[in-house]
């Protein structure tokens, strides 16, 4: 291997173990395109500002484009003995261009270079993740539309609580994902800040034009302070935390999928292509994908923790500890993309057993609140109505029946306000259809939620609340 570029002040060669330990090309090699993009912007600026000659600037830009093509076509392989992707590309350039290649690093340090590269890399990743979030939201809207009147039990403490619709349940996840989408947008705005020109830490004496580089790279702004420019990894932590929240959402959803496809629930069945069997139990159909998503959530939270812990004790500015940022943030990004792209078709292909959902909703006195509300609508105070209904539930349990089948005499024995219309009032359909408060489970409310959600994706930023929505109509 050739000597490192910084070998000048060293009298010994670096131990081979140290080389291997120090090297990051095995994981930062994936940023080759972004490194080249940054270098092209830098070389262009150096030429325009007269820091290097126009010809040298053009030669550098042309050769950088060639290096990119060569890597992409496979003609140029990354050298795994190189220290990192930045050193590798610079050394290729120098090999090919001699003197001119050596001019590229004028007014730049690897510290601001690597900070820029990660930002450029993550920018693209955020847009990919956002597209997957949008896709999932759309799938949820489509599914919810088919199930605006599919009644299922709503739970608290995993105990049957009040009836809802499957569409309502799905749209809850859509709202969580809309917030994830907003967080991605917010994060990417800060990722798109340009640290280049911070130098090693203290800027440079060359007359560089940082704003020109910012413009060339279509960044939002030039970072204000050079120490901060090279020290900041907040954007990695923000993105890892945004991704952790997405994964936490997918994990909760997975947990429900796992429950729903158990024999105890049987609300859904996964498509054969998205489930797995057991090596010993022939009857098994396991929800491995959902379980893996739930498991991988832990690892992304770990990545987030790695980044926070790695940064928390670092003095300004660059410290080599920061090389550890990449494996953590890349893993978070790779994992969420992998999970989403398997989770989405799993949802799209599952079968929904409406009848089982309805049967489950018919048990467990899920309409007891509605029975109490019936009395309230006839003039009774809610607390009294609550007490009477509680007594009726106890009576049903004693008689091994439910509120729908309890004879009217029994109702009347507890309260004279009860009449034949109670059966209509506590029917599952009534319970759900009447819950038409904004955001509620009724088919009408759910349709409004779907409408709002679809608009939020199509016109981001335009729709803020459901109320706002309606007044715009």
Binding site for ligand ARG (CB under 6 A): 24, 28, 84, 110-111, 114, 318, 320, 322-323
* Separation CA 201–CA 315 (nearest Å): 12
DSSP state of 272: G
DSSP state of 17: H
CB of 44 to ligand ARG, least distance (A): 22
CB of 318 to ligand ARG, least distance (A): 5
Question: Which pair of tokens denotes residue 61?
Answer: 């830009």
CB of 350 to ligand ARG, least distance (A): 42
CB of 28 to ligand ARG, least distance (A): 6
Considering the complex, state which of residue 144 and residue 230 has its C-beta at the smaller distance from ligand ARG: 230
DSSP state of 205: S
The CA radius of gyration of the chain, in Å to the nearest whole number, is: 30
Considering the complex, state which of residue 323 and residue 436 has its C-beta at the smaller distance from ligand ARG: 323
Q: Is 159 helix (H, G, I), strand (E, B) or coil?
A: strand
Question: How many C-beta atoms lie closer than 10 Å to residue 349's C-beta?
Answer: 12
Considering the complex, state which of residue 28 and residue 90 has its C-beta at the smaller distance from ligand ARG: 28
Do the beta carbons of residue 191 and residue 118 sit within 8 Å? no
Strand-pair category, 159-165 with 151-156 = antiparallel
CB of 185 to ligand ARG, least distance (A): 27
| 249: annotated active-site residue | no
* Separation CA 339–CA 243 (nearest Å): 11
Of 451, 380, 431, residue with least CA distance to 149:
431
Biggest alpha carbon distance in the chain?
Answer: 101
CB of 101 to ligand ARG, least distance (A): 19
- Given the residues 11, 73, 157, 471, the one annotated as active site: 157
| 442: annotated active-site residue | no
Question: Which pair of tokens denotes residue 367?
Answer: 């309409």
Sign of the C-alpha dihedral computed for residues 45, 47, 52 and 58 taken in this order: positive
Considering the complex, state which of residue 187 and residue 231 has its C-beta at the smaller distance from ligand ARG: 231
CB of 325 to ligand ARG, least distance (A): 7
* Separation CA 410–CA 135 (nearest Å): 52
- Given the residues 16, 53, 262, 278, the one annotated as active site: 278
Do the beta carbons of residue 43 and residue 343 sit within 8 Å? no
Considering the complex, state which of residue 309 and residue 401 has its C-beta at the smaller distance from ligand ARG: 309
- 80 Cβ partners below 8 Å, 6+ apart? 23, 25, 26
Do the beta carbons of residue 338 and residue 331 sit within 8 Å? no
Do the beta carbons of residue 323 and residue 117 sit within 8 Å? no
Considering the complex, state which of residue 111 and residue 453 has its C-beta at the smaller distance from ligand ARG: 111
Q: How far is the first Cα of the chain from the last one, in angstroms, to the nearest whole number?
A: 68
Considering the complex, state which of residue 230 and residue 301 has its C-beta at the smaller distance from ligand ARG: 230
Do the beta carbons of residue 159 and residue 69 sit within 8 Å? no
Q: Give the residue numbers annotated as catalytic, written as ranges.
A: 157, 278
């Amino acid at each position: 291997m050739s000597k490192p570029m910084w070998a000048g002040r060293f009298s010994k060669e670096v131990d081979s173990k140290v080389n291997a330990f120090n090297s990051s090309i095995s994981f930062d090699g994936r940023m080759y395109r972004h490194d080249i993009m940054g270098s092209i912007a830098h070389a262009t600026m150096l030429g325009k500002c007269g820091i290097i000659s126009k010809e040298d600037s053009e030669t550098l830009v042309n050769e950088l484009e060639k290096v990119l093509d060569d890597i992409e076509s496979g003609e140029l392989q990354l050298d795994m003995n190189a220290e990192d992707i930045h050193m590798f590309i610079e050394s290729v350039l120098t090999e090919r261009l001699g003197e001119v290649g050596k001019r590229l690093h004028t007014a730049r340090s690897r510290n601001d270079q690597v900070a820029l590269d990660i930002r450029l890399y993550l920018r693209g990743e955020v847009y990919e993740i956002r597209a997957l979030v949008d896709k999932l939201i759309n799938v949820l809207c489509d599914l919810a539309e088919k199930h605006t009147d599919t009644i299922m039990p709503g739970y608290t403490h995993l105990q049957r609580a009040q009836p809802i619709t499957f569409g309502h349940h799905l749209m809850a996840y859509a709202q969580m994902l809309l917030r994830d989408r907003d967080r991605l947008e917010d994060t990417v705005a800060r990722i798109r800040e340009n640290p280049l020109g911070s130098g090693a830490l203290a800027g440079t004496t060359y007359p560089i034009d940082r704003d020109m580089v910012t413009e060339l790279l279509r960044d939002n702004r030039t970072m204000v302070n050079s120490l901060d420019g090279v020290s900041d990894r907040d954007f990695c932590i923000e993105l890892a935390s945004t991704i952790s929240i997405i994964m936490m959402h997918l994990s909760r959803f997975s947990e429900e999928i796992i429950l729903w496809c158990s024999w105890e629930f049987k609300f859904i069945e996964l498509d054969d292509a998205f489930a797995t069997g057991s090596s010993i139990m022939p009857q098994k159909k396991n929800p491995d994908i959902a379980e893996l998503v739930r498991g991988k959530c832990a690892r992304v939270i770990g990545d987030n923790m790695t980044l926070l812990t790695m940064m928390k004790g670092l003095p300004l500015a660059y410290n080599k500890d920061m090389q550890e940022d990449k494996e953590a943030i890349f893993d978070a990004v790779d994992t969420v993309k992998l999970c989403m792209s398997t989770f989405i078709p799993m949802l799209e292909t599952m079968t929904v057993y409406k009848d089982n959902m309805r049967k489950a909703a018919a048990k467990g006195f899920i309409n007891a609140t509605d029975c109490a509300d019936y009395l309230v609508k006839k003039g009774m105070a809610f607390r009294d109505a609550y007490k009477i209904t509680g007594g009726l539930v106890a009576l049903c349990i004693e008689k091994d029946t439910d509120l729908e089948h309890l004879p009217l005499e029994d109702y009347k024995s507890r309260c004279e306000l009860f009449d034949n219309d109670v059966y209509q009032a506590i029917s599952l359909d009534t319970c759900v259809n009447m819950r038409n408060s904004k955001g509620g489970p009724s088919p009408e409310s759910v349709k409004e939620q779907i409408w709002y959600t679809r608009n939020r994706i199509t016109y981001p930023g335009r729709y803020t609340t459901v109320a706002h929505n309606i007044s715009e109509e």
